[in-house]
């Protein structure tokens, strides 16, 4: 497998994509959606091989569930592509055009990023999703999916490439690296000549590997050690609702709450009832010494707990004596994802929103809303937890860049 | 030298900086400017040591000139800080706040990047400049200057830290890594726990080293293999003026023209007179076979020339048969900096602006305008030639990021 060839083909295809208008791109997305549904039987057949291998390799039930393709899920993938077709295209917009004193007209034009690499794990549905987002923004995409899903991913990519071919568009708008060798992946992460941006989608381990090894600019996504701070003045019913929602509505996601931070003055009023409700939902509670006495069926938290993203039915509980201590604790242990305060106090709410360093900071709402759809972006390629380029849910615009365009009439610099 | 301690101190100082308002920041910038001028004699004395070492080490005249601090240059540095004080502060602006259907108010707030690392070469003036830009945007900065300028840089940093101390502000708003060991620099590039962004300022070699070794997000700056394409329909006098300006007004800069691309149909009309003028200015001309015959005193260009950023009195000349061939050539060899077309043809101008992949694309103007001041940004930390986060001249906004702030009244996700 020659990665340089793959890169060169992607770059060539992208030149074509950059010239397509939005209507043409939307037509292809709708065709792809229809073709995926038409080919559902074939996709499921390919997926069966991965599922069988997964079972043989003792893949966990959770992972098998993520891996599994059904007719319903294929319809979901198709629906996602159709939703993308309905969104406005960010490419081409010119903002802030000004006339400079020397007469130069200078504006910033939104343009495709170019070639985007996406490295992900055994989730076949990411394939169509990532292609759709990149295609809508006139980017070529090179995919490197997990080896456990290789047959499913290949079948989906082949289906999309057939759709492109039938529409007389460059099939290399999407390419899949089928070689699952680790060295190939490392080489891919250094393909700076061809790849403009690399996005890892998966667990903390995958993301760390990419950040450590890539010389291509990377956007880190996903890790979320999210806190909810219940202030002294909080409406305790509201606090309980928000915490139960953020912890238990879906536990395996990055915007779920992992740690409850409680003002010590209301710990005795909040914790007994709340902890009983959480225990009913099978949430294991890991409390610090002060919280322990008020918490039903808790175990003692260790220092390690404060930095943990459990992605499970576990919640740590930390008491603090002020909003400042809460902010300091959160800024020390968080992963820059989503943080919330529950309070009636105007100044504490503003302080928390101002001083907590994270992609999304909430007053009086569940952290579970950090999501491209909930934020009104219409689509999401991931949630950036880094500060460069894009922070928080990334929609189509995060897959674009800008260039300055300048209209002159002979200006030279003196 | 313990880099983790430096990082931790920077992070702590930044928490303080983030709470400062614009007026307080401006006052400090003006104080720093005044203090630099007051301490000019001391700075020049420190610089004398570097200059003497430079001469001993046979530093080139050009580098010695860059290294040299004079009263006038120190006034220039001070003036730069005062100009920064006069600029609006991008931090704190909230854009696009919307009310979602569930009542959540979601907006994007501009916030400091955090801790910024800057690695540069033997140019002492970068020190005050980088500090000023970072301070104005409430970022702490860790500087790693070139070893050849270490005494000058240290004197400037000490002066700024005294100003901070006298103003009862955290001195660790600026720190200098004085250890010039290569291993220390490598370790610095992996300080992801503390440093949010790394900006190398210097030659292509420095930038490559940082990109290869850094695990901190990097913004690449500066390399410019800039082309000017003279189209068939160009006003040839305008073309000559623009080329002479872009090539010779200042040769050692990244937005200088390195390659002339000429439509073959006008090569015979443009090149004889233009090449004579360029030769008068001592520009060496490296022409392809078609251009060679029309070009005064040219040598034959080799394949290598097309990819070269000379930063010198040298210009390569390439003939093409169409605007498409020009665009293809430029997109193959350019470094994503600044590219220009000279033409009277509406469609070719639009095509060039659309299809050339670079940070700044010009119709009928000199590439020398790619600059933060010329673009109206008021200041510049460098010119980004990458696509992530910032592209083209980077002003204060490039040193900031955003976070979502969300005002709720008890919303939970269903």
DSSP per-residue letters across B218-276: B--B----EEEEE-TT--HHHHHHHHHHHHHS-TTSTTSEEEEEEEGGGHHHHHHHHHH
Select from B249, B364, B387 the Cβ nearest to the Cβ of A401: B387
Q: Residue A57: pLDDT band by 50, 70, 90 thresholds?
A: very high
DSSP state of A218: B
d(CA B390, CA B372): 12
Q: What is the pLDDT of residue B291?
A: 97
Sheet strands (E) in A44-102: 94-99
pLDDT at residue A379 greater than cutoff 90: no
d(CA A189, CA A179): 14
**Could you tell me if A380 lies within 8 Å of chain B, comparing CB atoms?**
no
Return residues 38-67 of B near A (CB < 8 Å). none
In angstroms, what separates the C-alpha of A56 from chain B's closest C-alpha?
A: 37
d(CA B361, CA A405): 5
Chain B residues within 8 A of A350 when measuring between CB atoms: none
Asked if residues A261 and A356 have their Cβ atoms less than 8 Å apart, the reply is no
Chain B residues within 8 A of A401 when measuring between CB atoms: 387-388, 391
Question: Is A229 in a helix, a strand, or coil?
Answer: strand
Rg (CA), chain A: 24
d(CA A191, CA A182): 15
Asked if residues A190 and A215 have their Cβ atoms less than 8 Å apart, the reply is yes
Residue to substitute from B369, B377, B380, interface A, most A β-carbons within 10 A = B369
Tokens of A83: 């939703």
Question: Is B327 in a helix, a strand, or coil?
Answer: helix
In sequence order, the β-bridge partners of residue B257 are: B226
Can you list the alpha helix ranges (DSSP code H) found in B57-166? Answer: 61-67, 71-86, 125-136, 150-166
Stretch A36-47: mean pLDDT: 98
Q: Residue A182: pLDDT band by 50, 70, 90 thresholds?
A: confident
Q: How many whole angstroms from its chain centre is CA A54?
A: 25
DSSP state of A407: E
Select from A388, A401, A411 the Cβ nearest to the Cβ of B366: A411
**Could you give the angle at the alpha carbon of B332 between the alpha carbons of B330 and B333, nearest 5°?**
70
pLDDT at residue A391 greater than cutoff 90: yes
Question: Is B177 in a helix, a strand, or coil?
Answer: coil
d(CA B197, CA B206): 16
Between A333 and A205, whose confidence is greater?
Answer: A333
d(CA B358, CA B398): 18
Asked if residues B207 and B220 have their Cβ atoms less than 8 Å apart, the reply is yes
Question: Is A99 in a helix, a strand, or coil?
Answer: strand
In terms of CA atoms, which chain A residue is nearest residue B208? A215
Asked if residues A295 and A281 have their Cβ atoms less than 8 Å apart, the reply is no
Closest CA to B378 of B51, B14, B52, B84: B84
Work out the widest C-alpha separation in chain B, in whole angstroms.
78
In angstroms, what separates the C-alpha of B65 from chain A's closest C-alpha?
A: 22
Indicate the helix (H) or strand (E) that contains A151. helix A150-166
Q: What is the pLDDT of residue A22?
A: 96
DSSP string of A101-148, one letter each residue: TTS-EEEEEEEE--EEEEEE-S-THHHHHHHHHHHHTT-EEEEE--GG
Closest CA to A294 of A230, A214, A241: A230
The structure's pTM equals: 0.92
% helix, strand, coil for chain B, step of 5: 45, 20, 30
Instruction: Please state whether B389 falls in left (phi above 0), alpha (psi between -120 and 50) or beta.
Output: left
Q: What is the pLDDT of residue B164?
A: 98
Q: What is the pLDDT of residue B79?
A: 95
Work out the widest C-alpha separation in chain A, in whole angstroms.
78
Tokens of B148: 């050849």
Indicate the length of chain A as a whole number.
414
φ, ψ for residue A17 (rounded to 5)?
-55, -40
d(CA A60, CA B359): 47
Q: What is the pLDDT of residue B223?
A: 86
**Could you tell me if B366 lies within 8 Å of chain A, comparing CB atoms?**
yes
| Burial environment of residue B210 by CB neighbours within 10 A (0 to 12, 13 to 18, 19 or more) | buried
d(CA A58, CA A24): 44
In angstroms, what separates the C-alpha of A54 from chain B's closest C-alpha?
A: 32
In sequence order, the β-bridge partners of residue B213 are: none
Q: How many whole angstroms from its chain centre is CA B27?
A: 26
Select from A113, A361, A391 the Cβ nearest to the Cβ of B387: A113
Return residues 146-165 of B near A (CB < 8 Å). none
Task: Tally Cβ neighbours within 10 Å of residue B414.
Answer: 7
Q: Residue A87: pLDDT band by 50, 70, 90 thresholds?
A: very high
Subunit contact B386:A217, Cβ cutoff 8 A: yes
Question: Is B117 in a helix, a strand, or coil?
Answer: strand
d(CA B193, CA A75): 42
* Residue labelled with tokens 């080139």: B60
Stretch A2-31: mean pLDDT: 97
Q: Residue A133: pLDDT band by 50, 70, 90 thresholds?
A: very high
In sequence order, the β-bridge partners of residue A176 are: A143
pLDDT in tens, A249-281: 999 889 999 999 999 999 999 999 999 999 999
Chain A residues within 8 A of B374 when measuring between CB atoms: 100, 413
Q: Residue B252: pLDDT band by 50, 70, 90 thresholds?
A: confident
d(CA A373, CA A67): 23
pLDDT at residue B187 greater than cutoff 90: yes
- Helix A71-86 vs helix A125-136: angle between axes, to the nearest 10 degrees? 10
Asked if residues A291 and A236 have their Cβ atoms less than 8 Å apart, the reply is no
Q: Residue B378: pLDDT band by 50, 70, 90 thresholds?
A: confident
Chain B residues within 8 A of A375 when measuring between CB atoms: 100, 106, 404
Tokens of B13: 């100082």
Stretch A297-302: mean pLDDT: 96
Residue to substitute from A251, A365, A375, interface B, most B β-carbons within 10 A = A365
Q: How many whole angstroms from its chain centre is CA B275?
A: 30
Select from A363, A386, A408 the Cβ nearest to the Cβ of B217: A386
d(CA B203, CA B375): 23
ipTM (interface predicted TM) = 0.93
**Could you tell me if B230 lies within 8 Å of chain A, comparing CB atoms?**
no
% helix, strand, coil for chain A, step of 5: 45, 20, 35
Using alpha carbons, list the distances in angstroms from residue B12 to B6, B34, B241. Answer: 10, 27, 52
Subunit contact B403:A391, Cβ cutoff 8 A: yes
d(CA A362, CA A339): 6
Stretch A229-254: mean pLDDT: 96
φ, ψ for residue A388 (rounded to 5)?
-85, 135
DSSP state of B400: E
d(CA B138, CA B28): 12
Indicate the helix (H) or strand (E) that contains A408. strand A400-411
Tokens of B275: 């090449």
Q: Residue A63: pLDDT band by 50, 70, 90 thresholds?
A: confident
Average pLDDT over chain B reads 95
| Burial environment of residue B64 by CB neighbours within 10 A (0 to 12, 13 to 18, 19 or more) | middle
In angstroms, what separates the C-alpha of A387 from chain B's closest C-alpha?
A: 6
φ, ψ for residue B359 (rounded to 5)?
-65, -35
Return residues 263-292 of A near B (CB < 8 Å). none
In angstroms, what separates the C-alpha of B272 from chain A's closest C-alpha?
A: 21
Q: What is the pLDDT of residue B279?
A: 96
In terms of CA atoms, which chain A residue is nearest residue B93? A354
């Amino acid at each position: 497998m020659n990665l340089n060839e793959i890169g060169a083909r992607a770059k060539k295809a992208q030149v074509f994509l950059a010239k397509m208008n939005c209507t043409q791109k939307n037509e292809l997305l709708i065709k792809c959606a229809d073709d995926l549904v038409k080919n559902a039987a074939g996709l499921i057949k390919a997926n069966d091989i991965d599922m069988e291998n997964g079972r043989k390799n003792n893949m966990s039930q959770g992972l098998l569930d993520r891996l599994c393709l059904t007719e319903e899920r294929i319809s979901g993938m198709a629906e996602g592509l159709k939703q993308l077709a309905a969104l406005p295209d960010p490419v081409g917009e010119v903002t802030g055009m000004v006339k400079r004193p020397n007469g130069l007209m200078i504006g910033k034009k939104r343009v495709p990023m170019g070639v985007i690499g996406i490295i992900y794990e055994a989730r076949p549905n990411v394939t169509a999703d990532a292609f759709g987002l990149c295609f809508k923004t006139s980017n070529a995409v090179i995919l490197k999916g997990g080896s456990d899903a290789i047959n499913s991913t290949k079948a989906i990519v082949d289906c999309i490439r057939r759709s492109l071919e039938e529409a007389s568009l460059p099939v290399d708008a999407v390419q899949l690296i089928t070689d699952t060798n680790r060295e190939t992946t490392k080489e891919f992460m250094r393909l700076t000549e061809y790849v403009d941006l690399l996005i890892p989608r998966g667990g903390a381990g995958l993301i760390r590997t990419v950040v450590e090894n890539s010389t291509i600019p990377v956007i880190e996504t996903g890790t979320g050690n999210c806190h909810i701070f219940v202030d002294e003045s909080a409406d305790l019913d509201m606090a309980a609702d928000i915490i139960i929602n953020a912890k238990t509505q879906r536990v395996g996601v990055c915007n779920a709450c992992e740690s409850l931070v409680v003002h010590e003055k209301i710990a005795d009023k909040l914790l007994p009832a709340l902890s009983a409700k959480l225990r009913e939902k099978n949430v294991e509670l890991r409390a610090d010494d002060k919280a322990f006495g008020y918490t039903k069926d808790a175990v003692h938290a260790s220092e390690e707990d404060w930095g943990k993203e459990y992605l499970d039915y576990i919640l740590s509980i930390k008491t603090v004596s002020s909003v400042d201590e809460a902010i300091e604790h959160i800024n020390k242990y968080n992963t820059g994802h989503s943080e919330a305060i529950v309070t009636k106090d105007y100044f504490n709410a503003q302080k928390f929103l101002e001083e907590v360093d994270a992609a999304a900071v909430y007053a009086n709402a569940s952290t579970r809303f950090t999501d491209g759809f909930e934020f009104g972006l219409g689509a999401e390629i991931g949630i950036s937890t880094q500060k460069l380029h894009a922070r928080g849910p990334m929609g189509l615009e995060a897959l674009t860049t800008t260039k300055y365009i300048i209209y002159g009439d002979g200006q030279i610099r003196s």
